[in-house]
Amino acid sequence: MVARLKEARQRRLMWREIQESGSELGGSTKTVLMQRGLWDKLWLGNCAVNASLTGRTFAEIGRIRNTHPFDAICDVLVAEGGAASFYGEDKTDGDIDCLAQGEYCGVGSDGLAMANTGPLADEREHPRCYGGMAYLIRTLVRERGVLSLEALVRKLTRFPAERMGFADRGLVQEGKKADLVLFDPEGMLDRATFQNPCLYSEGVRWLFVNGVAAIEHGRATGTRAGRVLRRGLSRNRGQG
């Protein structure tokens, strides 16, 4: 891939096809943003060689490098050996609101489990890794009123537990695993940004994992009571 991205002819072919077909090419819908020239809605994410540009849009990176934003993307991929992440704003608030209200739709994030200390501290991934749930509470509940807080909590807890077949989770009920979050609904605030993605959210007071406090009065306790959830164990033998 890197060798092909170095070829000027191959780049011209790729760019022409994106301009003509956009997302009809398959794969990421971010090609639509490229097709429409919305380079200010495409950001550079986690990378090594170009770490100083993390969080900048490709509109900015193109200006900084005095090159077309598409060539800037190709140049970054070549320099990083193909190992770089990109983010795009390819859905509107209206899209998200419509999906979130769907009866068969849960809500969540495909962010990774991160930490701003230790070996993961240098990873600068999408801000959803640190602020995803607080972002949903702020936007869907407080700002846009798309869902009630109770409805959102269900879509974050009971809905996925039932969908995945975890019979001992998802409800506050005797005999179930005590995975519990005590938070301030008005104080939940996502702080992570594309430019500074490694900032924890505010508003969580207590967090219990399998009945053991992992956050106490807003501070991590250092305990690790989590367990790997394996298919069939939760449903059949009540383990987790």
pLDDT value, residue 231: 67
pLDDT at 232: 62
Give me the amino acid identity at 41: K
Q: Is the dihedral of CA 73, 77, 80, 84 positive or negative?
A: positive
- Could you tell me which of 162, 163, 187 has the C-alpha nearest to residue 176? 162
Q: How many angstroms separate the CA atoms of 183 and 230, rounded?
A: 28
Determine the pLDDT at residue 150. Answer: 96
Chain centroid, CA 52 distance in Å: 21
Q: Concatenate the DSSP letters of all residues of 76-110 into one string.
A: HHHHTTT---EEE--S-HHHHHHHHT-TT------
Residue closest to 122 by CA, chosen among 43, 193, 54, 75:
54
172-210 tens-digit pLDDT: 999 999 999 999 999 999 999 988 899 999 999 999 999
Does pTM top 0.75 for this prediction? Answer: yes
Q: Give the mean pLDDT of 212-228.
A: 93
pLDDT confidence of 30, banded at 50, 70, 90?
A: confident
Residue-wise pLDDT for 97-152, tens only, equals 999 999 999 998 888 888 888 888 878 888 999 999 999 999 999 999 999 999 99
The pLDDT of residue 236 is 45
Please check the confidence at residue 240 and state whether its pLDDT lies above 50: no
Q: Which amino acid is at 63?
A: R
Mean pLDDT of the chain: 91
Identify the pLDDT of residue 238. 43
Give residue 149's pLDDT.
97
Pairing of strands 86-88, 180-183: unpaired
